[in-house]
Chains A and B, each alone.
Chain A
């Protein structure tokens, strides 16, 4: 009897859901932009901040002119859960929602994993802060508005060698993570070519005990601790570096430019330096506007990590939105294929600088890396001189 009941319930439910899934209203003057970002998992904090930048831009400019008609922009958000195997599903959700173009993702691994779904559907996607070269390499649908890891890795290695004067560096990456693995690899390439020495290790997924890695760094006589990992691990590393007395500067890439790091480092004696896309204060108008927008809503504030710090990824998300809006305008069409065509030639002046793409992989032409140092007393960032490479 019970079994029959279950079977009936299942049948009924399936029927209901089939109809519920099928219904969706189409509005002729709406253009959909997909937001392919993590809202949970390792990179959830950064993904949320990047999404906030997009949402803020959408709040300021909710419409776009396509030819002569004004279209309303609708953001379709899908959570890729920072997980490579969920990325394809999230991408499929966006493609099925008929987005004209997608933005994202924070984190290179999910971008690579979701890429093929967009490729097959013919939907262009613009990477915002995924810095691994493999994201755009060898394809025509993935674009990117940030600099790449070979560039960032080189800058970091130079910084460690020249500015910090280190000759031996401890590198820590997460196992199977394209972002940290890639960045560490480029760092090592450059650092060893400068004549330095490295000790490189990885930690497995789900690890929260970094004390032994910190002990390894100390015991092997390293002078700098380089760990461009996710903010979730970063928080633990800073915390344990403090309690274990790491005693050397920590160097990291763009992911660490987050208030999670500031909150963890505040009141400690940990020395954290990061490279990033945008220093707070570079565009006061944007900063103030964003701050008041974030402060006006508690949900936004909690998505931004509980305070109104302007993360670089937020500024990048903001620029990415205007970048695709410009592309849609240039294409004078909301058809994904036309937008893809138009993206190659799109240029804007954003808050993070001028954005134009090179014509091989569709990567942004960028030559500036900003450097920040965590102020452990005020809990804010101190800007260090930016590095410009010609």
Chain B
């Protein structure tokens, strides 16, 4: 076993690190869904925009300034999107909001396409994080090691926030019953704005980690990680933060094991890698059919 682990350590390291990054994105999906019952299709693109903001800022500013600015701008972006594209549709049918989300995603991608001229932008190498380290014979970057710990720390912080602060309590109330909490005097719009801002902040952190590992940003960079993070959120039971995190790690690791399939299991063939993305969805469908509410999801009851 130890031998097996040792031999294939680099796959597991990649998997854990990408899983942590998916987890941070997935939290944004799951919190928004928990409160608004909205699949925020634009979330992956917010993640991509955070990457682009960093590329542009770091070309003229030192990292000590540009990193906090990236976080601030991304939070702002999340806030603006909610304010402009989702709030006006608060009383509209749910499908309209989801379509608005698709529209925002389309808009962000096309805006990125226009401003970058359609070319991949090279992400700056962050000091320390992008250095190489050797762990038990596998060469990798510092960021790979840092990611799971940082993710865990942020999740703990977030859980504390939700459990023990006033705004956290408001969030829980809103996600439990939207209308009643409104009647109880909770300022719904504020709660929703803050939810989006937290989601965007985590997406910005994820983008710092992700693009340090895979240093190129294109207008569609966000769509695959976004989709996978979303699957992770569904897998863990949408609305549940620990579920999303566990789902993300499972997906990240499995994806890398599949990519390394021919080497790990000794079965040759290039078919393995063809399915590294499709696997995520196959996995999702199996989960949905076996346990439609995901690992930790609550069962929704139809109200007649």
Q: Which residues of A contact B (CB under 8 A)?
A: 39-41, 44-45, 48, 79, 81, 175, 199-204, 206-213, 215-216, 218-220, 232, 235-236, 239-240, 242-245, 263-264, 302
Contact = CB atoms under 8 A, between A and B. Distances in A.
A208 B139 contact: no
A207 B18 CA distance: 13
A377 B220 CA distance: 32
A235 B113 contact: no
Interface residues of B, number: 39
A204 B277 contact: yes
Contacts of A44: 117-119
Contacts of A215: 8, 10-11, 14, 260, 263
B37 to A, nearest CB: 26
Interface stretch (B93-101, B160-168, B266-274, B287-295): B266-274
B262 A216 contact: yes
Interface string B217-249: 010110110000000000000000000000000
A94 B118 CA distance: 21
Interface of B: 7-8, 10-11, 14, 18, 113, 117-120, 122, 130, 132, 134, 139-141, 213-216, 218, 220-221, 223-224, 256, 259-260, 262-263, 268, 270, 272-274, 276-277
A327 to B, nearest CB: 31
Given A199-B262, A215-B11, A243-B141, A41 B274 contact: no
8 contacts: A44-B119, A206-B277, A218-B10, A235-B215, A243-B132, A244-B139, A245-B132, A245-B139
B214 A240 contact: yes
B128 to A, nearest CB: 13
A248 to B, nearest CB: 13
Nearest to A302: B117
A233 to B, nearest CB: 9
A208 B226 CA distance: 13
Nearest to A82: B118
Contacts of B120: 45, 232, 235
A342 B8 CA distance: 60
Given A40-B118, A220-B263, 7 more contacts: A44-B118, A175-B274, A206-B277, A208-B221, A219-B263, A235-B122, A263-B122
Q: Which of B10, B117, B120, B220 has the most CB of A within 10 A?
A: B120
Given A40-B118, A206-B224, A209-B14, A216 B263 contact: yes
Nearest to B114: A40
Contacts of B220: 206
B293 to A, nearest CB: 29
